[in-house]
Chain A
Amino acid sequence: MKYFSFLLFLSSLFLFSCTERIDLNIKDSDAVLVVEANITNDAGPYKVKLSKTINFDLPNAFPTVSNAFMVISDDLGNKDTLVESTEKGTYFTQHIQGVEGRTYSLSIDAEGKSYLASCSMPVVVKLDSIFVQAIAGPGGGPGAGPQMTIFNVFQDPAALGNSYQTAQIVNGTMQEDLSLFNDDNVNGNKVTIPYFGQKAKLVPGDSVIMELRSLSKTSYDYYNTLDEISSGGGGGQAASPQNPTTNLSGGALGYFAAYSVSRKGIRIK
């Protein structure tokens, strides 16, 4: 439900609003480690990116963190040490294979500090089919007319507590916005849900792949809190914005996510 929330409602208020650049004295902050780590049931290798936060007034060039010692392991005792690629701060696994239902751990030793995280990979929820329909609203925001929108159809498992993310790959390019939801209001149903994240207009001939990711509850919380403070996800609406929740110990930002995926493709006519 969160997609509709008050953004729509507030948009009417902001019809009358304007913006202007202002200067406020922003304090310096100590750099902390930022971790982006995923493991899925797709074939490896899996990527982990390490970077650091910077002060607000610096240009958007984020220092990477090299020479970290990282191990991903699962609850069956499989272990894999990551290797840094030629791209600084980007590391890849060597042999470990993500399997649905297993729990994964990530340990990081970087710049003299240690960080730990663990995450369970939920069982795959199969994307049954996808279809295209022009609808008003969600696809293009409240202002836009009817937009070609992709609908995902899948069967939510009977037990409550499934969390999902849908991603869209248009002509081979992963779109920036992921659409996040859970089964609070649709538990156990055959679900038909539009992809709300779509920004680019779809045109005939486009090849579209939809990806349904099954997330753990803690991963959902992470993406949800990340959405709240990022400009695309309604940033600025929270009374007191906070850093996203994390499963990393040791004071790092970011997240280690283990999720399972299912895909379907379609060509726009």
Chain B
Amino acid sequence: MQKISLLALFFSLVLGLSAQKPITISGNVKDEKTGELLIGATVTTQELPDLGAFSNDYGFYSLSLPSGTYTFVVQYLGYQDLVQKIELKEPSKMDFKLSTGEVRSDDVIITDVKANDNVTKTQMGAQHLSIQEVNKVPVIFGERDILKTIQLLPGIKGAGEGGSGFYVRGGSADQNLILLDEATVYNASHLLGFFSVFNSDAIKDITVYKGGMPAEYGGRLSSVLDITMKDGNNQKFGAEGGIGLIASRLTLQAPIKKDKGSFIVSGRRTYADVFLKLAPDTNLQKSTLYFYDLNTKINYQFGEKDRVYVSGYFGRDKFGLGSLFGFDWGNKTATVRWNHLINDKMFSNTSLIYTDYNYQIKISLGTQDIKITSGIQDYNAKQDFQYFLNTRNTFKFGANSIYHTFIPGVITAGGEGSNFNSKDFAKKYAWENAVYASHEYKFSNHFNMNYGLRVSAFSLMGPGTFYSYNAAGARTDSTVYASGKIGKTYIYAEPRVAGNWIINDASSVKFSVSRNVQNVHLLSNSAIGTPTDRWIPSSNNVKSGISDQVSVGYFRNFLKDKFEFSVETYYKTLQNQIDYVAGASLFGNEDVEAQLLYGKGRAYGLELYLHKKVGKFTGWISYTLSRTERKFDQINEGKYFAAKQDRTHDVSIVGMYDLSPRLSVAATWVYYTGNAVTLQSGKALINGQVIPYYTERNGYRMPAYHRLDLGVDWKFKQRKNYNSSLNFSVYNAYGRKNAYSIASKEDVDTKLSYLEKTYLFRWVPSVTYNFKF
């Protein structure tokens, strides 16, 4: 009852504030050529430039204005501004179609509307990347990669070469919610992190939230990476693709019915293992090492008010060593969504989502063979509403329910006289629910606020047996839950508040305060993330991870919004973080929770960002000064120590220059302080072997990392509708031997110990031929 009356108060307050009778204009913002819906485009008017709307994740906007005649201005990065006079007398439908084509001089209309949404938006700690920009950044093996590109932004740090995942503002790699068309992607990397699972040809839009997460997102502590697949061209058939040294890809898209529906299919396959054929070793010649992935999406508009999307991803990495050893892993996701316009102000989306991540290992030993599988599976239902009440008030509310199945391991033994026992480690089940509501309110033209609340509940579900452990890791007690029974439950309220004080058109100060809760945890005790890292739920032993973050930022645009500058600071605390006892064994282990240590963390930092978005020269400079620490009673005498991903300085410089309409060059330079690392301070002799003696966790630093990548893109002359280009790139252009790992060795002659670094790559040149028609 209390909740309802609060809600009533809330609405009456809001309604009381909207005195005049506005008229609503609503519709979609689209790409003129392909019909692709555009996310985050701004819709404003010259007459009332302070009142504007953004298109949502489905390209829908709704704007309510007093009746009159307006000059509408619709803007989206990488597209021409659309300027259109519209007389608003009654509620209207209007789809805006933006064009990417060359700007003709007579089209240029001087408007007062500024491209300054980075300053005026309430959201901070968020970065929106256009795929056009991502595509210009040079990367390893010439494969454009959004996951690699976001690591060039402030506050986001890559795990380094050979490591999968990324770290956001001091969080761990498992604290990032990676969504592909709303489906959680549990392992976003291929081939040990050298590629991400996201094929950029199939991707439309990327937004990454580093802090102040909107209330509609939850379940992870550090960040949300929200990736939207392309809908497919609903105007005409199109194909594009690329042929590279180690990977090729092909994307097809076409209308199902013009303007009504379309589909896209995009596939990619690597053939890295062709190089193994050159290896001197016969076993390696027989090895396989490749991955493939397939993205597909279909959408169809039923009438004026309904649109249905079905999208899916399937990807698999395969590794094999002759007939001896086989190892493959991958994600499957499927999303069905239904957009419904309840009225011109109220937008609804219903999603049903399936996610699966698993790996499989096959080993043959003579006549015996053994197969191991493990993974995680989610069924997810989601309902979201957006209510564009008027220009001052936007509401979002909804609910989400996920049923998780954790599969710690299934061992299948076969063959004659097998040594091994087949075994099915008990699966764990959990049910994760959340409801949220948020209100974006424009107090005045100078102050916006977005406040919201997410309430999340996480329950272990039967059937299952849950153990308690003593300090020595032995079972002391067990609780058995029958099928369908609810076990240990964690309920948390996660407040999310963000405010923006707009000083003037070009500058603003923003703040945000947020709490995030996480109930699925990735166990990984290898130096790099591997596909066998294991997800476990919160339980009677493992408590919900909690992060509280405060951040303040100053945003400033220069030279008519050509340059965006921001400085953000954050302070974050983390509770119930996980570490491991020595020798923890994660696979299958039913008592894995007895091998975990629980502690806390803190992270703080300063992020500077200068971005030039338009013109012949584009690019950005980002710098992060930060500290990331963890604290466990059992490690370093209970004192705070630097987390692995603690990097004091982190710099990225990205520059792209169009020399001519057909020739462009790009360069990226990164520098960061070496990761914190545990090295031995002494040594001992045991069983005739010299072994390291450690005195503290992460007491040393890897050498600083830096690298320059270069790229050149040459477009061939267009023939009819056929466009093609050749892309050259060099990864690590000056061939720095960046340390991947450090190990101690003994000099054969002097018997003295020394340290040796392993580095993976010096120069990696690549060439890719891209085409589109």
Contacts and interface: CB of A to CB of B under 8 A. Distances in A.
A187 interface: yes
A interface, how many residues as a size bin? 35 or more
A208 interface: no
Nearest to A220: B583
B760 interface: yes
Contacts of A203: none
A61 B752 CA distance: 10
Contact of A21 (B279, B694, B755): B755
Interface string B383-419: 0000000000000000000000000000101000101
B682 A54 contact: yes
A21 B757 CA distance: 6
B744 interface: yes
Interface in A217-269: 221, 224-226, 228-232, 235-245, 253-254
Given A16-B760, A17-B740, A20-B759, A56 B644 contact: no
Contacts of A62: 684-685
A33 to B, nearest CB: 10
B686 A143 contact: no
- The prevalent SS among residues of A at the interface is loop
Contact of B287 (A12, A21, A53, A56): A12
Contacts of A176: 687-689
Given A229-B691, A243-B582, A245-B583, A23 B752 contact: no
Nearest to B699: A27
B411 A15 contact: no
Contact of A4 (B363, B413, B699, B740): B363
Contacts of B692: 229, 235, 241
Interface string B656-697: 000000000000000000000011111111111111111101
A190 to B, nearest CB: 8
B722 to A, nearest CB: 36
B423 interface: yes
Contacts of B287: 12
Contact of A186 (B276, B420, B686, B755): B420
A163 interface: no
A242 B697 CA distance: 8
Given A193-B419, A254-B686, A24 B742 contact: yes
Given A13-B162, A20-B737, A36-B687, A53 B742 contact: no
Given A13-B162, A18-B759, A225-B582, A34 B526 contact: no
Contacts, number: 225
Nearest to A143: B281
Nearest to A145: B282
A142 interface: yes
A21 B532 CA distance: 31
Contacts of B372: 1
Contact of A243 (B413, B694, B755): B694
Interface string A49-70: 0011111111111100000000
Interface stretch (A40-48, A79-87, A91-99, A130-138): A130-138
24 contacts: A8-B321, A13-B192, A16-B760, A17-B760, A24-B700, A29-B682, A36-B687, A136-B283, A142-B283, A145-B283, A185-B411, A189-B420, A194-B365, A225-B582, A229-B694, A231-B743, A237-B526, A237-B527, A239-B524, A239-B644, A240-B525, A240-B698, A241-B694, A242-B582
Interface of A: 1, 4, 6, 8-9, 12-24, 26-29, 31-32, 34, 36, 51-62, 133, 135-137, 142-143, 145, 176, 184-194, 221, 224-226, 228-232, 235-245, 253-254
Q: Nearest 6 pairs between A and B by C-beta?
A: A29-B682, A225-B583, A29-B681, A242-B582, A53-B682, A62-B685
